[in-house]
Amino acid sequence: MEPRRFEYGDEVRVTRNVRNDGTFPGVNTGALLIRRGSVGVVRDIGTFLQDQVIYTVHFTREDRLVGCRDKELIAGSAPWTPSRFEFSDKVTARIPLGIKGDVVAQKGDIGEIHKVVRKGPIVDEMRDVVYHVRFPGRTLLVPESALAPLIESKES
């Protein structure tokens, strides 16, 4: 088991949306509990299956105590770049996307977010959050500015 990174009273930020896995009373399973980027305070530290550190975090703005895995948290003071999309979101290309001049995804093609990249040399160079997006037959590294949310019709 990894050593714990946070202590009681530490401010932490959750890096992904936290949904009810069925253990949060009074809220439907799958319902959003805490939005990614929210900051809270560590109130308790425990383990799950003796191999995962679980922090009970009080998100004061939402007034919720939520259990978070270590890998879902960063220090509250750590740099944070908000993103418009997250894992498994469906998106469309706002522009044609290419590799070395060859268009591999047309404007309007539908893709799915596989990874959000908020930091690193590519993000620094583009000055934009980038995503690994799976388009039919290919996964591309795409800046946020080149994507739009998929608007599904009410008939689908």
Domains of the chain as residue ranges with CATH: 11-75 (2.30.30), 90-149 (2.30.30)
Report DSSP state, residue 14. E
The whole-number pLDDT of residue 78 equals 83
DSSP 87-108: TT-EEEESS-EEETTEEEE-TT
Q: What is the pTM of this model?
A: 0.63
Q: Say what the alpha-carbon torsion angle 122, 145, 129, 105 is, to the nearest 10 degrees.
A: -60
Angle 128-16-12 from CA coordinates, rounded to 5° = 100
Tell me the C-alpha distance between 156 and 152, whole Å: 7
As a residue count, the chain comes to 156
What are the b/e assignments for 92-102, b being 16+ CB within 10 Å? bbeeebeeeee
Alpha helix stretches (DSSP H) within 51-136: 121-126
Query: Considering only 50-64, 74-88, 128-142, which range has the smallest mean pLDDT?
Result: 74-88
Q: pLDDT tens, 7-57?
A: 889 999 998 888 888 888 888 888 889 988 899 999 988 877 777 788 999
